[in-house]
Amino acid sequence: MIPRLALLSAIKHWRRSTVVAGAVAVACAVMIAIGSLLNGITTSFYDSVIPNSGHVRIDDARVASSLNPLGLELLLPDAGAKIAKIRSLDDRRIVDVEPVLSFGAILVEDRDDRDPRNIVMRGIGLSPDTRFADNVRYSMKEGSFLPGGQGIAISERAAALVGAKLGSGLLVLVQDRSGQPWYERLVVTGLFATESSDFDETTFYMTEAKAAEMLDAADMAREIRLLLANRDEAESVTKEVSAALMPGSAAASGAAAGGREGSPPLRIQSWQTINSSIFAILLFVKILLGIIMGLFAIVSGTIISNTSLMSVMERIKEYGTMRAIGLRARALGRLILLEGLILGLAGAAIGIGLGFGVVALLSRGGIDLGGIMESLGLSRYNRPRMDLLWFAFCTLASLAVCLIATAKAARSVGALGVAESLATSS
Amino acid sequence: MISDNAKVPLLEVKGVTKDYRLGKTSIHALRGVDFTVEAGDFLSIVGPSGCGKTTLLNIIGCIDRPSSGTVLLDGVDVSTFDDDGEADTRLARIGFIFQSFNLVGVLDVRENIEFPLILAKLPKAERAKRIDRLVELVGLGDFVKHKPDELSGGQRQRVAIARALVNRPSLVIADEPTANLDSATSTTIMEAMKALNDEEGVTFIFSTHNELIERYAKRVLSIRDGLITGERRLANGVRFAAAATHEGDAAHGGVSSPGAPE
């Protein structure tokens, strides 16, 4: 009968029950939405940033202090030998090793009838069957990604800026390692559109072989990227690769060491080190969202607490009667808590439905978080992602807030004496 | 329901005082009350409003504690019990009937009566047996599924009586049980209580400031300003129905009167 009594009381005082359940529902839904938003940002980070940087990256240590990180003097020599050495480790954790040759270039419109338009961009030379650059390879709108190792892949936005389209030619102007200008007409073989306008307006792709030819940088690489089977093993792989490429040096994560005489110092970093600034920002975002969730929990808790208190205060006499009949104070507390639990469960169920709906709605188009996300190398459109564990956490947290708030009301009632309760006019 | 030990009174109240603080003022609700109640008694406590009747009944019923003095129920000092001990005593040994009925609004008649039995953890079959008997005894057989707000005042009080009796207490305390009822319904309720006292041996202590109701008692304690000022014995109590001056009052008397709305 006690559960039935709690249920009937909740139904009878339906207005207050609605407020309590509503507060729980809103708190739960907000927590789900915010958590899913955060999950979306994190997933975007893992999906786009890491595949672009690789799980482990090797480059010239001087890049860190260089004013022109795309300077050709910072290219790694003997890239083939370094890659062969890494492959010779025969480490099953390493799925792929690939050289990347990035450089500064000017794309010039190929026409004679008027002054051609041009755009300064960053060219990236990659293998046509690269396992990196997911954000581009999966965002092709026309053509394909360097088909047969030919042409260039450029974004639709950049193409529009220089009046290019699929199949048309563009003049790619670079300066080779000897400082001589070099240009070549390359056909646009693929048009892509990622969710980052900043990225789209600054980056184009060609094959690593063609880039090496134009830059006169045979067997050189801007960086060597490693793709791992398990990203969590990046730190230990970094140490292993450091030991292989820089024997005798401090083979630690993020370590830089001078190479043999005449060869540049290497910098070998895990994705955690490479993206440490993004982690700091993600941590800040997490703290910020955590504070928002905390505030919601406090506001909801206060609403629930006050409503529960008003609700039980209205029934002081009824509770006094129950105690006069023989109900112990603790049992009365349990009865009030049970009513709170029923309302909490109802609210959490509504909150899950509400949160699910909001997340599903926001996931369709994504939330435009603007240039801040792009500056981090993330998509500007954040798509909240649902996580069952987070759902469970939100449900339990909402229930906990409800029960803690109800417990306060129960304690207030328990503190009153039986005679005092019976004497109230409620 | 009658005390096992005939030598020990069912209830002994010795030197009970009760003081309340109201700001800097001290209010002496009870100033030293002494009396005993034997099993099977039908005791009325009478006096004007504010004389300490309810305070005394609360202390006897373990829902309040005296400032000094002792309350012995079957020889056991219940005034020293902790909260749980008091709750257990109320559940097992004392039945309450309140002036304003105090039924649980969301429960129906049957559930209201069943509530103390559930607290006492009685088996379902035993609960059903006791409830069936009591609803017939108080004449509410046709109303077991009704909620309190679907009943008349008299019917509600009969539910309260059934609830007070269902755990077979040693003592039933009724604080002005007829104060919120009209005279005809008051007659019904008092007749019901009197019949339970006569036929079942249930000990009742009830308060009233209605002289007509007072005449049902076997014994009357007068209280004024927190002190017992007199005691009278009425031979076996007076049947109100027989003494009724209001025309038609008698028609409402009797325990087994039908439970039609009053």
Name which of B136, B62, B65 is nearest B94 in CA terms: B62
Structure tokens at A118: 């041009």
Residue B90 contacts A where some CB pair is shorter than 8 Å: yes
- Cα–Cα distance between B167 and A246 in angstroms, integer? 88
Show which of A273, A291, A312 is a domain's final residue. A273
pTM for the predicted model, two decimal places = 0.69
Could you tell me the pLDDT band of residue B6, with boundaries at 50, 70 and 90? low
* Better-scored residue on pLDDT, A1 or B16: B16
Whether residues A213 and A293 fall in one domain? no
pLDDT for B19: 93
Residues A224 and A290 placed together within one structural domain of the fold = no
Q: Is A222 on the interface with B (CB under 8 A)?
A: no
Helix (H, G, I), strand (E, B) or coil at A25: helix
Residues A200 and A69 grouped into a single domain? yes
* Per-residue burial over B2-23, b = 16 or more CB atoms within 10 Å of its CB, e = otherwise: ebeeeebbbbbbbebbbeeeee
Last residue of a domain, one of A273, A301, A325: A273
- Which residue, among B104, B110, B122, B176, would best test binding to A if mutated, counting the most A CBs under 10 Å from its CB? B104
User: Quick one: pLDDT band at residue B262, thresholds 50, 70, 90?
Assistant: very low
| A70 shares a domain with A28 | no
pLDDT for B60 beyond 90: yes
Q: Quick one: A20 and A134 in the same domain? A: no
DSSP 3-state of A177: coil
A415 touches chain B (CB under 8 A): no
Nearest to B142 by CA among B256, B248, B44, B13: B256
Contact B90 A326 (CB under 8 A): yes
Average pLDDT over residues B163-176: 91
Q: Is the pLDDT of residue B47 over 50?
A: yes
Asked whether the beta carbons of residue B63 and residue A12 sit closer than 8 angstroms, the reply is no
| Beta-carbon contacts below 8 Å between A and B | 75
Which residues in chain B touch residue A324, judged by CB atoms under 8 angstroms apart? 61, 63, 90, 96, 102
**Residue A419 touches chain B, beta carbons under 8 Å:** yes
Do A229 and A355 belong to one domain? no
Which one, of A32, A35, A26, lies nearest residue A302 by Cα?
A: A26
State residue A1's pLDDT score: 67
CB of A356 closer than 8 Å to CB of A373: no
- Alpha helical stretches, state H, chain B: 53-60, 83-93, 109-119, 124-137, 153-165, 183-195, 211-214, 240-243
Residue B3 has pLDDT above 50, yes or no: no
Contacts of A314 in chain B (CB under 8 A): none
Write the pLDDT tens digit of every residue in B22-45: 888 888 999 999 999 999 999 999
Distances (CA, A) of A240 to A87, A230, A303, B4: 12, 15, 56, 89
- Residues of chain A where predicted confidence (pLDDT) is lower than 50: 251-253
Q: How many separate domains does chain A show?
A: 2
- CB contact, 8 Å: B91 with chain A? yes
Q: Please indicate if any CB of chain A lies within 8 Å of the CB of B132.
A: no
ipTM of predicted assembly, 2 dp = 0.83
The answer to whether B122 faces chain A, any CB pair under 8 Å, is no
Structural domain that includes position A110: 54-273
Q: Assign residue A355 a region: left if phi > 0, alpha if psi is -120 to 50, beta otherwise?
A: alpha
In a shared domain, residues A170 and A125: yes
Mean pLDDT of B98-103: 88
Which residues in chain B have Cβ-Cβ distances shorter than 8 Å to A318? 102, 104-105
Per mean pLDDT, which range of A10-14, B105-109, B194-198 is the poorest? Answer: A10-14
Q: In this complex, is the C-beta atom of B184 within 8 Å of any C-beta atom belonging to chain A?
A: no
Q: What is the pLDDT of residue A113?
A: 81
Q: Is A322 found in the same domain as A261?
A: no
Is the Cβ of B83 closer than 8 Å to some Cβ of chain A?
A: yes
**Confidence at residue B191, expressed as pLDDT on a 0 to 100 scale:** 87
Whether residues A188 and A317 share a domain: the answer is: no
Residues A72 and A123 in one domain: yes
Measured over the CA atoms of residue B40, residue B46, residue B49 and residue B51, the dihedral's sign is negative
Give the minimum alpha-carbon distance from B91 to chain A in angstroms, rounded to a whole number.
Answer: 4
Q: What is the DSSP-derived secondary structure letter of residue A39?
A: H
Q: Which two tokens stand for residue A152?
A: 């260039």
Q: What is the pLDDT of residues B202-227, one digit of tens each?
A: 899 999 888 888 888 999 999 999 99
Distance CA B92, CA B87 (A): 9
A261 and A128 in a common domain: yes
Do the beta carbons of residue B91 and residue A326 sit within 8 Å? yes
Q: Does B98 touch chain A if contact means CB atoms closer than 8 Å?
A: yes
Please state, in angstroms and rounded to a whole number, the distance separating the CA atoms of residues B81 and A71. Answer: 89
Q: How do strand A367-368 and strand A94-109 relate by DSSP bridges? A: unpaired
Predicted confidence (pLDDT) per residue in A167-183, tens digit = 999 999 999 999 999 99
Q: What is the 3-state secondary structure (H, E, C) of A137-176?
A: HCCEEEECCCHHHCCEEEEHHHHHHCCCCCCCEEEEEEEC
Q: How far is B183 from chain A (nearest CA, A)?
A: 24
When computed from its CA atoms, the radius of gyration of chain A, rounded to whole angstroms, is 31
Provide the mean pLDDT of chain B. 84
Q: Tell me the CB-side half-sphere exposure of residue A101, using CA atoms within 13 A.
A: 31
pLDDT in tens, B124-142: 999 999 999 889 888 888 8
pLDDT at position B18 over 50 = yes
Q: Which residue has the tokens 């000897």?
A: A178
B105: contact with A, CB 8 A cutoff: yes
Q: What is the pLDDT of residues A55-65, one digit of tens each?
A: 999 999 998 88
Statement to judge: residues A41 and A68 lie in one domain: no
Q: Which of A5, A311, A319, A325 to mutate to test the interface with B (most CBs of B within 10 A)?
A: A325
Distance from CA of B25 to the nearest CA of A (A): 19
Q: How many CB atoms lie within 10 A of CB A119?
A: 20
Q: Are B63 and A419 in contact (CB < 8 Å)?
A: yes
Cβ–Cβ of B118/A1 closer than 8 Å? yes
Q: Cα(B6)–Cα(B69) distance, rounded to whole angstroms?
A: 23
| Residue after which a domain boundary falls, among A273, A288, A305 | A273
Amino acid at B104: V
What is the structure's pLDDT at B253?
34
Amino acid at A191: L
